[in-house]
Amino acid sequence: MRNLLISLLLIIFTAATAQGQTARSVRATRFPQPPLIDGRVDEDVWQLAKPVEGFIQFEPEHGRPSPQHTIAYIGYGDEALYVAFICYDPEPEAIAAAITKRDGELDDDDAVVIMLDTFNDNNNCTYFTTNSLGTQADGKVADNGRSRYEEWDATWLSAAARTPVGWTAEFAIPFRILKFQGGEGRTWGLNLGRYYPRHLEESYWAGPLESTFRVSQFGELTGLDLQGRIKRYEIIPYALSQAEEGQTLEGRAGLDLRYRLSSNLGADLTINPDFATIEADMEQINLTRFELRIAEKRPFFLEGAELFRQRIGQFYSRRIGDIPWGAKLTGKAGSWDLALIGTQSKLMNDDSSSSAATYTVVRAKKGVFGSSNIGFLAANRAYSGANQGSIGFDATLFFTETLGATAQFVRAHGPMSDGETAWFIRPAFDNATSHFHVRYSHWGKELKENMNAVGFIRDDNRKEFDTNLSHTFWMRGGLVEEIDAGVNYKRYWSQKDPLKSWELDAECDVTFTSKWEIELSRYDEFCYEEDYRDHATTLGLGYDNRAGRSAQISFGFGREENSDLRLFGTHATFKITDAWNASYGLTRLWLDPEPEDPDDRSTVIHVLRSNYYFNKDLFLKLFYQTHTAIDKHNVQVVVVWRFLPPFGSLQVAYQRGTSRFGTKSDQGHTLFTKLSLVL
Distances (CA, A) of 104 to 98, 167, 333: 10, 20, 33
Residue 56 CB neighbours (<10 A):
18
More confident residue, 263 or 125: 125
Say whether both 486 and 384 belong to one domain: no
pLDDT tier at 663 (50, 70, 90 boundaries)?
very low
* Domain assignment present for 481: yes
Mean pLDDT of 533-561: 90
pLDDT above 50 for 577: yes
Using CA atoms, how far apart are residues 220 and 206, in angstroms rounded to an integer?
A: 9
pLDDT value for 8 = 37
pLDDT tier at 15 (50, 70, 90 boundaries)?
very low
pLDDT value for 99 = 83
pLDDT value for 10 = 41
Q: Which of 241-250, 416-425, 563-572, 652-661 has the lowest mean pLDDT?
A: 652-661
3-state secondary structure 45-73: HHHHCCCECCCEEEECCCCCECCCCEEEE
pLDDT above 50 for 661: no
Mean pLDDT of 255-264: 89
pLDDT value for 645 = 75
List the Cα angle 39/45/48 in 5-degree steps: 120
pLDDT value for 5 = 35
pLDDT above 50 for 278: yes
Mean pLDDT of 470-498: 91
Q: Are 486 and 421 in contact (CB under 8 A)?
A: no
pLDDT above 90 for 508: yes
Using CA atoms, how far apart are residues 431 and 471, in angstroms rounded to an integer?
A: 10
b/e 171-206 (16+ beta carbons within 10 angstroms → b):
bbbebbbbbbeeeeebbbbbbbbbbbbebebbbbbb
List the Cα angle 593/489/446 in 5-degree steps: 75
pLDDT value for 218 = 96
pLDDT value for 349 = 61
Say whether both 427 and 476 belong to one domain: no
Classify residue 28 by its DSSP letter.
P
Say whether both 356 and 374 belong to one domain: yes
Classify residue 456 by its DSSP letter.
B
pLDDT above 60 for 351: no
Say whether both 473 and 452 belong to one domain: no
* Domain assignment present for 18: no
* Domain assignment present for 283: no
Residue whose C-alpha is closest to residue 240's, from 669, 679, 649? 649
Distances (CA, A) of 491 to 191, 457, 536, 547, 548: 40, 17, 18, 42, 41
Q: Are 532 and 522 in contact (CB under 8 A)?
A: no
pLDDT above 80 for 167: yes
Query: What's the maximum distance between 2 C-alpha atoms anywhere in the chain?
Result: 80
pLDDT above 70 for 96: yes
Residue whose C-alpha is closest to residue 160's, from 40, 308, 10? 40
Say whether both 329 and 416 belong to one domain: yes
* Domain assignment present for 559: yes
Q: How many domains does the chain have?
A: 3
Looking at 458, 491, 515, the residue that finishes a domain is 458
* Domain assignment present for 1: no
The one-letter code for the residue type at 278 is I
Residue 322 CB neighbours (<10 A):
13
SS3 (DSSP) at 376: strand
Say whether both 306 and 205 belong to one domain: no
b/e 485-520 (16+ beta carbons within 10 angstroms → b):
ebebebbbbeeeeeebbbbebbbebbbeeeeebebe
Say whether both 35 and 121 belong to one domain: yes
pLDDT tier at 6 (50, 70, 90 boundaries)?
very low
The one-letter code for the residue type at 554 is S
SS3 (DSSP) at 598: helix
Q: What is the CATH number of the domain that holds 217?
A: 2.60.40.1190
Using CA atoms, how far apart are residues 635 and 645, in angstroms rounded to an integer?
A: 25
Say whether both 452 and 470 belong to one domain: no
More confident residue, 588 or 593: 588
Mean pLDDT of 375-398: 94
The mean predicted confidence, pLDDT, of the chain is 87
Q: Compute, in degrees rounded to 10, the torsion defined by CA atoms 642, 645, 649, 654.
A: 60
Q: What is the CATH number of the domain that holds 562?
A: 2.40.160.10
Q: Which span out of 228-242, 277-291, 514-528 was modeled with the highest average pLDDT?
A: 514-528
pLDDT above 90 for 56: yes
Looking at 407, 423, 458, the residue that finishes a domain is 458
* Domain assignment present for 147: yes
pLDDT above 80 for 459: yes
Identify the bridge partners of residue 139 per DSSP, sorted by sequence position.
Answer: 127
Q: Which span out of 207-216, 469-478, 501-510, 629-638 was modeled with the highest average pLDDT?
A: 501-510
* Domain assignment present for 178: yes
Reply yes or no: is the peptide bond before residue 498 cis, omega within 30 of 0.
Answer: no
Mean pLDDT of 360-387: 93
Say whether both 392 and 310 belong to one domain: yes
* Domain assignment present for 144: yes
Say whether both 176 and 80 belong to one domain: yes
Mean pLDDT of 9-38: 70
Using CA atoms, how far apart are residues 470 and 486, in angstroms rounded to an integer?
A: 4
Residue whose C-alpha is closest to residue 508's, from 498, 518, 494, 500? 518
Q: Are 625 and 606 in contact (CB under 8 A)?
A: yes
pLDDT value for 21 = 52
Identify the bridge partners of residue 672 per DSSP, sorted by sequence position.
Answer: 242, 653
Q: Which of 30-34, 168-172, 303-307, 339-343 has the lowest mean pLDDT?
A: 303-307
pLDDT above 90 for 465: yes
Looking at 402, 434, 458, the residue that finishes a domain is 458
Say whether both 337 and 426 belong to one domain: yes
Say whether both 471 and 436 belong to one domain: no
pLDDT tier at 662 (50, 70, 90 boundaries)?
very low
* Structural domain harbouring 618: 463-630
Residue 280 has φ and ψ, to the nearest 5°, of: -65, 155
